[in-house]
């Protein structure tokens, strides 16, 4: 550390500021004259995406081959911390093999059914998401490669993600949206955290001192580096004060002059920059040490791990008449294009170029046309144009042709099995017409082998849903207000199963639900102090794994709270007739709410355990006394005590404690935080710029494809300041365009004609 301090002291102010911005799209800035090397980082939530030429943050340009593991929406369904640790370690081995010092992942924002990037996130439940992430991070970092948690925080939508404001109350922020990050930071100890594009209650995450310093560093003990998402920097002066260390990508010199001027005027303490310099140096030097020796990397073994992960993460949602597993000798029919081209990963910055790819049709052979088969297997799901980084889904429906395929097959043969590939819940109006449903999520490069093993019983499904599947999107409390520019977190604590339980709305499949080819029985549930134990027995005739879940049911006495919340879980593997005692130790946080700190309200707390959310058993109760929390006068009788449908804006504002008025971009008042899309309707210059941008993008992505839509949304939909950072536009060019958009054409020309190096 002393050497790092001395290195920092040897740098000029300008060199320090330069060091806190990347060298290019993926590398940090080097200073060879001071012995400071550059470091390569790349995307990697479910595999390595190293781009050595033509870098981009949207997954459009080609990358080196790497193992494509199942995405987070799949591996979360494994509920297996050990498995996530192994996947993290394997990806880190490939990172070391390819000279990558920091992996930009995992993502752990809370799931929302329509979020286009839902496939990259673990769960609707912060405890499950946090525990799996912590294990994944520890696996990545055990040999020195760095992990980067993202996107911190409240990044639950893709639409207008660069400029949206996440409007949220303090309890919801703390109990739901920050809890996953807190667990991952405290237990996983990641080397880096990536701040999100969006604002939280009016403050951009890159500028948010409360978020990045007081909460992340001082409260949770994070001692690593904070970097921006690519193009997420807002005000670099404010960001240094807030504790945002590294502006990515590099090469633009964004606000370098403003930072130097702020130091000269005494408005920014150089010590704030020094702190960031120290964190950058530590990250780079740690990576150099980790990459010093050539890593051993077994890509074949990683393919096998990807297969195991896909098998362990699959969820058997329905299995009438035990139609699965398929019996040897049965004639099967294979239906659907996804048999030959399965959907195995999402679109965007996490897109992996797989080392090998095994589709179901590569390993399965149909032996009968549909009417004559003993079992019909339909492969269906969401196509890439339905879910992607850069845009959100319009609804929860599947492609009409996939629905028709399922219904036609079921009409011809009642023994129809559906294998689903999708990165988010979908509506399943056809479910009563089929015998079985096997949800694969987005299973990675070995998904085809995993499907075969699961269908034929070589592998026993053991996954449990990590998010609720409603019958229809209209059943979601957020369905009435999700999607405008500013993200309104009106449902408060009632996210996912917390809402369906409290509102008594029956979903299609509950959070924590999943079937097996064997069955498990629970007995001897008991509580001694803060220790809860239960005996689990495999009462079936084949080996299987079971996820044991523990829920705390708080008192419903006026403080609005969910009926139950997941607080502990584990996964056990059992042979037929084998039993095991599972025990959990609870702590005060299991019972706490946020009220200017974590506090445990008095009352009787019931503890439920089991493997199926529809048949949990009561282990007993725990009494908590001594703390009383004041209830706001307006709360009794409100939607937050009796949620039905969606809360009104008025009720939500009463919970927020303030009025909410979304900002609307206005002609003549545009700023660097406004987008080409905002301005093109009122500015001829921006309209021309927009069409020129579309033409440019069409050279690399075909119009009408998800890649094209994603690139349009991520360029024309990003603020001018982001275009300056990621697109290499000169400051005076950007400012000149802004002047023109505001109706000051000649003033804009004058700016653009100036030296653009300023």
Q: What is the pLDDT of residue 58?
A: 55
Q: In what order do the strands lie in the sheet with 375-381?
A: 315-319, 436-441, 416-421, 375-381, 332-335
pLDDT at 52: 79
User: Any idea which of 26-30, 293-297, 343-347 has the lowest mean pLDDT?
Assistant: 293-297
Structure tokens at 301: 């073994």
* Average predicted confidence (pLDDT) for the chain: 93
Reported as a pLDDT band with limits 50, 70 and 90, residue 644 is confident
**CA separation for the pair 430, 381 (Å, rounded):** 13
CATH of domain 310-503: 3.40.50.1700
Nearest to 81 by CA among 508, 571, 492, 724: 571
Average pLDDT over residues 163-178: 96
What pLDDT, in 10s, does the model give residues 740-749? 999 998 898 8
- Cα separation, 251 vs 21, in Å, equals 8
Superfamily assignment of 520-629 in CATH? Immunoglobulins (2.60.40.10)
Residue 248 contacts residue 22 (beta carbons within 8 Å): yes
What pTM, to 2 d.p., does this model score?
Answer: 0.95
**Closest by Cα among 127, 123, 133 to 45:** 133
Confidence of residue 22 (pLDDT cuts 50, 70, 90): very high
pLDDT in tens, 57-76: 555 567 899 999 999 999 99
State percent of the chain over pLDDT 90.
76
Domain boundaries defined on the chain: 12-290, 310-503, 520-629, 676-753
Which one, of 483, 518, 126, lies nearest residue 322 by Cα? Answer: 518
Q: What is the pLDDT confidence band of residue 5, given thresholds at 50, 70 and 90?
A: low
Question: Strands (DSSP E) along 478-637, which ranges?
Answer: 487-488, 520-528, 531-538, 544-553, 565-574, 579-585, 593-594, 598-599, 603-610, 617-624
43 is catalytic: no
Phi, psi of 379 (to 5 degrees): -100, 120
The reported pLDDT for the residue numbered 757 is 46
pLDDT value of position 389: 85
pLDDT tens per residue, range 348-371: 888 899 999 999 999 998 888 889
Is the model's pLDDT at 448 over the cut of 60?
yes
Out of 229, 245, 286, 392, which one is annotated catalytic?
229
- In this predicted structure, what is the pLDDT of residue 758? 43
Residue from 151, 473, 516, 131 nearest 316 by CA:
516
Radius of gyration, CA atoms only, the chain: 26
* CATH code of the domain occupying 12-290: 3.20.20.300
């Amino acid at each position: 550390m002393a050497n790092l301090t001395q290195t920092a002291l040897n740098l000029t102010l300008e060199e320090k500021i330069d060091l806190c911005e990347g060298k290019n799209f993926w590398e940090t800035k080097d200073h060879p004259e001071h012995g400071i090397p550059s470091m390569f980082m790349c995307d990697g939530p479910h595999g390595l995406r190293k781009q050595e030429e033509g870098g981009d943050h949207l997954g459009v340009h080609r990358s080196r081959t790497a193992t494509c593991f199942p995405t987070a929406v799949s591996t979360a369904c494994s509920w297996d911390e050990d498995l996530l640790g192994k996947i993290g370690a394997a990806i880190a081995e490939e990172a070391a093999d390819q000279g990558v010092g920091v992996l930009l992942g995992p993502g752990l924002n809370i799931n929302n059914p329509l979020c286009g990037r839902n496939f990259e996130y673990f769960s609707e439940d912060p405890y499950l998401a946090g525990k799996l992430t912590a294990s994944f991070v520890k696996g990545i970092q055990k040999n020195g490669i760095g992990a980067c948690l993202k996107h911190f925080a409240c990044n639950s939508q893709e639409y207008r993600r660069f400029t949206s404001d996440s409007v949220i109350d303090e309890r919801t922020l703390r109990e739901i949206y920050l809890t996953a990050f807190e667990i991952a930071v405290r237990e996983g100890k990641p080397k880096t955290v990536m701040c999100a594009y969006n604002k939280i209650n009016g403050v951009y995450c890159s500028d948010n001192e409360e978020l990045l310093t007081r909460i992340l560093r001082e409260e949770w003990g994070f001692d690593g580096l904070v970097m921006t998402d690519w193009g997420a920097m807002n005000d670099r002066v404010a960001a240094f004060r807030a504790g945002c260390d590294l502006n990515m990508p590099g090469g633009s010199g964004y606000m370098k002059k403003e930072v130097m001027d702020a130091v000269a005027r005494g408005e920014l303490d150089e010590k704030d920059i020094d702190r960031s310099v120290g964190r950058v140096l530590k990250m780079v030097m740690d990576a150099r040490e980790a990459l010093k020796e050539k890593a051993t990397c077994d890509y074949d073994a990683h393919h096998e791990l990807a297969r195991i992960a896909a098998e362990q993460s699959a969820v058997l949602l329905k299995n009438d008449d035990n139609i699965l597993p398929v019996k040897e000798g049965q004639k099967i029919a294979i239906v659907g294009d996804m048999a030959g081209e399965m959907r195995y990963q999402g679109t965007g910055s996490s897109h992996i170029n797989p080392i090998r790819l095994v589709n179901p049709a590569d390993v399965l052979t149909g032996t009968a046309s549909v009417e004559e088969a003993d079992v019909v297997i339909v492969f269906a799901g969401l196509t890439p144009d339905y879910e992607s980084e850069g845009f959100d889904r319009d609804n929860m429906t599947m492609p009409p042709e996939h629905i028709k395929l399922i219904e036609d097959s079921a009409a011809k043969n009642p023994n129809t099995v559906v294998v689903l590939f999708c990165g988010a819940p979908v509506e399943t109006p056809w479910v009563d017409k089929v015998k079985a449903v096997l949800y694969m999520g987005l299973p990675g490069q070995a998904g085809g082998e995993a499907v075969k093993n699961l269908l034929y019983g070589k592998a026993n499904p053991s996954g449990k849903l990590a998010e609720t599947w409603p019958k229809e999107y209209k059943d979601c409390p957020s369905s009435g207000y999700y999607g405008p520019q500013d993200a309104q977190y009106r449902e408060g604590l009632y996210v996912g199963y917390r809402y369906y339980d409290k509102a008594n709305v029956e979903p299609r499949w509950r959070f924590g639900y999943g079937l097996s080819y064997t069955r498990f029985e629970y007995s001897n549930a008991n509580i001694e102090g803060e220790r809860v134990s239960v005996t689990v027995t495999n009462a079936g005739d084949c080996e299987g794994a079971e996820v044991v879940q523990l829920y705390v049911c708080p008192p419903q006495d006026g403080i609005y709270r969910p009926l139950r919340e997941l607080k502990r879980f584990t996964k056990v593997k059992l042979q037929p007739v084998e039993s095991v005692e599972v025990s959990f130790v609870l702590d005060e946080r299991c019972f706490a709410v946020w009220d200017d700190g974590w506090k445990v309200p008095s009352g009787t707390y019931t503890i439920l355990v089991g493997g199926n959310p529809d048949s949990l058993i009561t282990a007993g109760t725990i009494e908590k006394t001594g703390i009383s929390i004041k209830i706001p006068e307006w709360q009794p009788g409100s939607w937050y005590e009796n949620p039905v449908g969606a809360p009104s804006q008025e009720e939500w504002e009463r919970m927020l404690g303030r009025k909410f008025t979304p900002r609307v971009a206005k002609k003549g008042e545009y700023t660097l935080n406004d987008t080409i899309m905002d301005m093109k309707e009122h500015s001829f210059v921006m309209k021309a710029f927009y069409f020129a941008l579309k033409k440019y993008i069409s050279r690399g992505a075909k119009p009408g494809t998800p890649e094209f839509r994603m690139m349009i949304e991520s360029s024309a939909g990003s603020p001018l300041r982001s275009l300056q950072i990621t697109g290499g536009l000169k400051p005076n060019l950007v400012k000149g365009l802004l002047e023109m958009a505001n109706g000051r054409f000649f003033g804009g020309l004058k700016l653009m004609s100036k030296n653009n190096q300023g």
